[in-house]
Amino acid sequence: MNIKKYKVKDQNFKLNEFATAYKGKSLSKEEAEIQLALNIEKMMTLQDQLYAQNKYALFLVLQGMDTSGKDGLIKHVMKGLNPQGVEVYSFKQPSPLELSHDYLWRIHQHIPARGKIGIFNRSYYEDVLVVKVHKLLNQLPEALITENIWQERYQDIQHFEKYLGNNGIIPLKIFLHISKEEQSKRLLARLDNKNKKWKFSEADMKERAYWQDYQQAYEEAISGTATPSSPWYIVPGDQKWYARLVVSQILVETLEKLKLTYPIITKEQEACLEQYREELKKS
């Protein structure tokens, strides 16, 4: 699989030039599941090295419209990883305390520590998406709410991600791209399945009415924040099995680029370890 075609290359990015569905013939669902399992195995080793080396961290930002499959993807792609090395955090509507701070305040405490993989189910990108679509800026001084505010936020986000990257904390951003028709199917499926009815929310219906505004907000936010060191990938989301495979591939390749290794044992350390071996044999 070539993931390059899903990577945003420049700031002239157009969301509608990216597919929401896999239309190829070469990959079946069954084959994709086999490949996903292989990628999960690779990730297990890479994660083990990341943890042992304790220098880098990776954080995956998962964004997408309601029903785009964020929760399922986390469940299916991250299974098999060592839970001690993974931290998943879902960002919901900010609390009054969170709103009384700058919007990255609540984020920073969940940025993964070295050796760990952090997964953000939604993120600070909501502050240039839902906040933009619904104009939720009441807590700010009026003088700061100008027509430049979104460009300023894209710049701030770029700097924030660059800063983290300079610290060995590597950002990776995924947009799960589904069609409006697919969302309707998935919402209907929730109504049809008694075990899924609980997932249906009135809020999803309300947000669906703003579909176009969200697509535009995503396009602008992604254009404004896709950089070589902090890339965005637009993953076709209409077939969940395909999206899961693509994301697993992106994760594997991103981790491989870090050239992770287990900590090197020096000759002196080796000699010490041999002494311990002898002691253990005697005791």
Query: Is position 59 an interface residue for ligand AMP (rule: CB under 6 A)?
Result: no
Query: Is position 128 an interface residue for ligand AMP (rule: CB under 6 A)?
Result: no
Convert residues 8-47 into a mask of x (bound to ligand AMP by CB under 6 A) and - (unbound).
----------------------------------------
* Among 14-22, 37-45, 128-136, 241-249, the segment contacting ligand AMP (CB under 6 A): 128-136
DSSP state of 64: E
Phi, then psi, of 126 in degrees rounded to 5: -60, -25
Q: Please report, for residues 49, 80, 274, 277, 279, the alpha-carbon distance to residue 270 in angstroms, rounded to integers and kept in the order given.
A: 19, 32, 6, 11, 14
Query: Is position 207 an interface residue for Mg ion (rule: CB under 5 A)?
Result: no
Q: Please report, for residues 61, 217, 255, the alpha-carbon distance to residue 129 in angstroms, rounded to integers and kept in the order given.
A: 14, 6, 28
254/238 Cα distance (integer angstroms): 24
Sort 95 into a burial class: Cβ within 10 Å, 0-12 / 13-18 / 19+.
Answer: exposed
Please list, residue by residue across 21-30, b when 16 or more beta carbons sit within 10 angstroms of its beta carbon and e when fewer do: ebeeeeeeee
Tell me how far, at minimum, the Cβ of 69 lies from ligand AMP, in Å. Answer: 12
Q: Whose Cβ is closer to ligand AMP: residue 51's or residue 126's? A: 126
Which listed residue (91, 154, 218, 233) binds ligand AMP by CB under 6 A?
91
Looking from the CA of 93 toward its CB, the CA atoms found within 13 Å total: 4
Query: Is position 133 an interface residue for ligand AMP (rule: CB under 6 A)?
Result: no
Query: Is position 57 an interface residue for ligand AMP (rule: CB under 6 A)?
Result: no
Helix 149-166, helix 211-225: angle, nearest 10: 50
Which listed residue (122, 162, 190, 208) binds ligand AMP by CB under 6 A?
122
Convert residues 44-73 into a mask of x (bound to Mg ion by CB under 5 A) and - (unbound).
----------------------x-------
237/246 Cα distance (integer angstroms): 10
Q: Whose Cβ is closer to ligand AMP: residue 94's or residue 112's? A: 94
Please provide the size of the chain in residues.
283
Query: Is position 182 an interface residue for ligand AMP (rule: CB under 6 A)?
Result: no
Which listed residue (69, 94, 236, 237) binds ligand AMP by CB under 6 A?
94
Tell me how many residues contact ligand AMP (CB under 6 A). 12
SS3 percent helix, strand, coil of the chain, rounded to 5, is 55, 10, 35
Contacting residues toward ligand AMP, per CB under 6 A? 66, 91-94, 122, 126-127, 130-131, 136, 203
Contacting residues toward Mg ion, per CB under 5 A? 66
